[in-house]
Amino acid sequence: MSTPSSRRHRAALIVAVAALPRRLPAALIAAVAALPLACAPIGGRQLDEPPGEQSTPRGEDESEALFTFYPDLAPVAIGSAVPEVELEDADGRPFRLATHRGTALVVTFFESRSPNPGLCPEILQRLVELHATMHPELLAAVRLLAVSVDPVFDTAEVLRAHATSIGATGGSWLFLRGDPEAVARFAGGFGVVMWRRADGSVGHTLNTLVIDPDGRLADQFPGLDGWSTTDLLAAVSAAAR
């Protein structure tokens, strides 16, 4: 079982990676990509419509990943208020964190067309398992949020179809999308780094958040290694009290 301390150290590593210079040698990028944080191998093409400031390739070398950075963005610490974000759900309805005060939230980031079944699909499967594990009283006090990092591709229709395909249906679930820059800034506050792959899809690191009913970050679960659904259930149960 993972501990909050070990997860904090791992989250700090993610934030440190996000703070690296915008253009990195290919060898260093490959080493970072080997960490069990990313949703797929890093690609190296620039975003067509990049949110925020974007680096440019060195010459013709497309082996470098092009990250999106916000130097002004401070990482959200455990116990701190989670910044507001304006998104929309799979039915096109506006979503704001503030409207869910009084409810514990589990938030993860994903892309529906992830090329690696052991990463993005795995993180959503853990939330499906969490949903199945929670007793009715706890389930009524929790919402499970899946935020797309690829909102251009993940339209409302795509989100609805994806949720149905993995069995993530019912009132506890919200699949969300939004303005690419709003999504990038929100995710970036939790050390989630994103990049555009050669095929146009969006790669990213992973972090799953637990937000308490007062809107504060109660816990976080970076990557996939070192924690289980049991750990997540314990954190959600503690936050929802």
One-letter amino acid of 8: R
Q: Which residue has the higher pLDDT, 4 or 227?
A: 227
CATH at 134: 3.40.30.10
Over range 77-94, report the average pLDDT: 97
| Higher-pLDDT residue of 194, 9 | 194
Tokens of 183: 């999504």
Please check the confidence at residue 130 and state whether its pLDDT lies above 90: yes
Q: How confident is the model at residue 46 (pLDDT cuts 50, 70, 90)?
A: very low
What is the rounded distance in angstroms from the CA atom of residue 60 to the CA atom of residue 38? 25
Per the prediction, the chain carries an average pLDDT of 79
pLDDT at 66: 42
State which amino acid sits at residue 22: R
Which range is least confidently modeled, 10-14, 37-41, 116-120, 136-140?
Answer: 37-41
Q: And the tokens for 175?
A: 């699949």
* pLDDT for the residue 27: 39
Better-predicted residue by pLDDT, 191 or 64: 191
pLDDT band at 10 (very low <50, low <70, confident <90, very high): low
Q: Is the pLDDT of residue 86 over 70?
A: yes
Residue type, 109: F
Q: Tell me the per-residue pLDDT of 196-235, one tens digit each, with 9 for 90 and over.
A: 888 888 889 999 999 999 999 999 999 999 999 999 999 9
Tokens of 158: 């795509």
pLDDT confidence bin for 1, thresholds 50/70/90? low
Contacts of 10 (CB under 8 A, 6+ apart): 222, 223, 226
DSSP state string for the chain: ---HHHHHHHHHHHHHHHTS-SS--HHHHHHHHTSTTBSS-------SS-SSEE---STT-TTS--BEE-TT-PPPPTTSBPPP-EEEETTS-EEEGGGGTTSEEEEEEE-TT-S-TTSHHHHHHHHHHHHHHS-HHHHHTEEEEEEES-TTTS-HHHHHHHHHHTT--STTEEEEE--HHHHHHHHHTTT--EEE-TTS-EEEB-EEEEE-TTSBEEEEEESSTT--HHHHHHHHHHHH-
Structural domain of 67 = 4-240
Q: How many angstroms separate the CA atoms of 222 and 241, rounded?
A: 23
Model confidence at 109: pLDDT above 80: yes
Question: What's the rounded mean pLDDT across residues 18-39?
Answer: 41
Task: Count structural domains, the chain.
Answer: 1
pTM of full prediction above 0.85: no
Q: Are 232 and 130 in contact (CB under 8 A)?
A: yes
Q: What pLDDT is stored for residue 19 in this prediction?
A: 43
Distance (Å, whole) CA 26 – CA 19 = 17
